[in-house]
Amino acid sequence: MNVLMVALGTILYLAVRALPRIEEEPAGESESLLDRWASSEIPEKIDAFLNSFLAKALRKVKVLLLRVDNALSLHLKKIKPEENAGAAKPIIDFKEITEQNKNGEEKIKE
Mind listing the pLDDT tens digit for each residue in 63-110?
Answer: 999 999 999 999 998 888 766 555 565 566 666 666 665 666 555 554
Buried b (16+ CB within 10 A) or exposed e, 43-69: eeeeeeeeeeeeeeeeeeeeeeeeeee
State the pTM of this model. 0.42
Number of H helices, E strands in the chain: 4, 0
